[in-house]
Structure 1
Amino acid sequence: MRTDDPAVLYLLVGPARVAVEPVQQFLRDFAAQGCSPSSVRSYAYVLLRWWRWLLVVGVEWNRATPAEVGDFVLWLPLASKPERPGTTMDRKGAVNPITRKRLLDQRYQPRTVRHSNAVVRSFYEYWIDEETGPLINPVQLARGRLGGVRRVHAHQNPLEPVVPGARLRYNPRVPKSTPRAMSDERWAEVFGGLRSHRDRALLALAVSNGARASELLGMRLCDVDWGEQKIRVVRKGSRAEQWLPASAESFVWLHLYLASLGSPLGSDERLWWTLRRRERGLGLVRQPLTYDALRAVLRRVNAMLGTNWSMHDLRRSSSPYLGDANTSANVIWPRPGTSACAASRATSKPGLAAVHQATEALAGPRRRG
């Protein structure tokens, strides 16, 4: 449940509506490390599922063993998620014929299970360090080929790049999926289904620079550089400020949106506002645009087109567009805000010139040495 405590906005309560002290202390330490409220909320929901599982099997949290974790991982893909407003109830799990994306179903996916294991392991690592929890961590690492647990980077050569360490023992494997990208025709359909200049400006910025939806919604008027055609966003996780170039078309729609507001905005005011005025104790005033309101905009477009596009698809479409223009990976990498250049290369594709060169080289006669 959400609380009024500015330090920890979320609280896990038991059946008697009493706060679960081990989880509350862990979340307070987690928030003190500079983690965002959304991360605290995500960790709280994972520990809520784990606590409910322990109540069902009748095991105290400090007496959990790898056996309970293994059963929990086996149960998660079979359990049904709570219903969320706004989700499509019909044909869940089917593939949309237009976007070729699978509709969300009520089952937990492998990525969710892996995230759950990581959160539960960090929870027990905290209490083991405090010397008041269990003696061993129930979420253990995978065993090596010789039967023992592999120590991460035990024989790492300092001259070689660091490779990922051992995976968790009960982590399911995640299949590698092809990068999603919206074609020009589909983008024209989505853009034509928008109702306001605000929505057109917001989505045009998202598809031109690859910024996250939360980063765009947190912008203020002073974060727009009209001369250089750049916008300033605060990156997720690192909270670093970064100026990103945007298309000229997005600035045209942004100008039309600001003109439609009627009254000019202050330099330190939020950039995105609701179109309708609502009563919040101060009369009929505009409210800051939230992520749920932005999702409602896409839901209306998806209902009209029979699609299931998301803001993440717009974000990932910017890298393939730059790849088609033969843009260097060093230019593509900073835009999505990924932690490594390899992550940007996974979502971008080579340009047409590189594809033609590779095709001609493979189709030409081979020389024998």
Structure 2
Amino acid sequence: MPLREKTLWRMLYESASRASAVLALNIEDLDLPNKQAKIIAKGGDIVWITWGIDTAHLLPRLIAGRERGPLFLSKHRPGPHRGATIDSRDICPKTGRVHLGYDRARVLLAHYGDGLRLHQLRHSSATHLGEANVSANVIMAKTGHKSLRSVQRYVKPGLAAVHQATETLSSPRRRG
């Protein structure tokens, strides 16, 4: 799988962020040492997303010496008819290429991801956090959901978690 796609899928999964926000990232938005980036969330709010060690290892290779411009680059430069309508912040000064588009990312994931959809990475991330007994409040903060009700579908404790919760109700001298 190409490095760009591998990094994008990993970042989408580890950050549990919306694909449109991640695809809009520029290199100057990244805080690599702290594994976080500033994004514009749905509704226009500025929020921070975080990612894990796997994404952190891939990003320097993806950036490869570039200092600014789009993080995820399209494969080709835009045609001359589009050049005048593109914000200079959305063009890589080193390559002349622009942000990878949502539709193209969707097609690439369908091709390399065995039929996966972009939004499924976000849902999978939240679901896996719920299965790992991460609190709904933390999942809500990670995904940027505004309502606890939106997050409830991800928090479905398994039988092992129910057993563990039940044991906390046992008398202390019998636990153990």
Q: TM-score category by the smaller chain?
A: 0.7 to 0.9
Matched, 1:228 2:34: yes
Distance in 2 between residues matched to 1:279 and 1:339, nearest whole Å: 36
- 2:14/2:125 contact within 8 Å kept: yes
How many residue pairs are counted as aligned between the two chains?
Answer: 155
Which residue of the partner structure matches residue 218 of structure 1? 24
Distance between the aligned counterparts of 1:245 and 1:278, measured in 2? Answer: 29
Does structure 1 residue 327 correspond to structure 2 residue 127? no
Distance 1:298 1:313 in 2: 11
Partner of 1:250: 55
Q: 1:351 to 1:245 in 2, by over 3 A?
A: farther
Quote the residue 1:161 is aligned against: none
**1:271 equivalenced with 2:84 (yes/no):** no
Letter of the aligned partner of 1:356 in structure 2? H
Q: How far does residue 220 in structure 1 lie from its aligned partner after superposition?
A: 1.4
Q: TM-score, normalised by structure 2?
A: 0.77
Structure 2: which 5+ residue stretches go unaligned? 84-94, 169-176
Q: Is the 8 A contact 1:323 1:351 kept in 2?
A: no
Q: Distance in 2 between matches of 1:355 and 1:234?
A: 38
Tell me the alpha carbon deviations over residues 171-203 of structure 1, each in whole angstroms, 9 at most, x when there is no partner: xxxxxxxxxxxxxxxxxxxxxxxx211111111
The Cα shift of 1:349 comes to 2.4
Query: Which residue is 1:197 aligned to?
Result: 3
1:357 CA drift (Å):
2.8
Amino acid across the alignment from 1:286: R
d(CA) in 2 for partners of 1:337, 1:233:
11
Equivalent residue number for residue 105 of structure 2? 294
| Cα separation, 1, equivalents of 2:112 and 2:166 | 39
Question: Residue 319 of structure 1: CA displacement?
Answer: 1.3
One-letter amino acid matched to 1:322:
L
C-alpha deviation, 1:236, in angstroms: 0.8
TM-score (norm 1): 0.39
| Equivalent pair of 1:325/1:351 in contact (CA under 8 Å) | no
Cα offset for 1:209? 1.8
CA 351–235 in structure 1, closer or farther in 2 if over 3 Å, else same: farther
More helix by share: 2
Q: Which residue is 2:174 aligned to?
A: none
Report the counterpart of residue 143 of structure 2 in structure 1.
336
User: What secondary structure, in the 3-state scheme, does the structure 1 residue paired with 2:76 have?
Assistant: strand
**Structure 2 Cα separation of the partners of residues 318 and 312 of structure 1:** 10
The answer to whether the 8 Å contact 2:17/2:144 transfers is: yes
Give the unaligned 5+ runs of structure 1: 1-194, 362-369
Residues 326 and 352 of structure 1 are in contact (CA less than 8 Å); yes or no, is this contact kept in structure 2? no
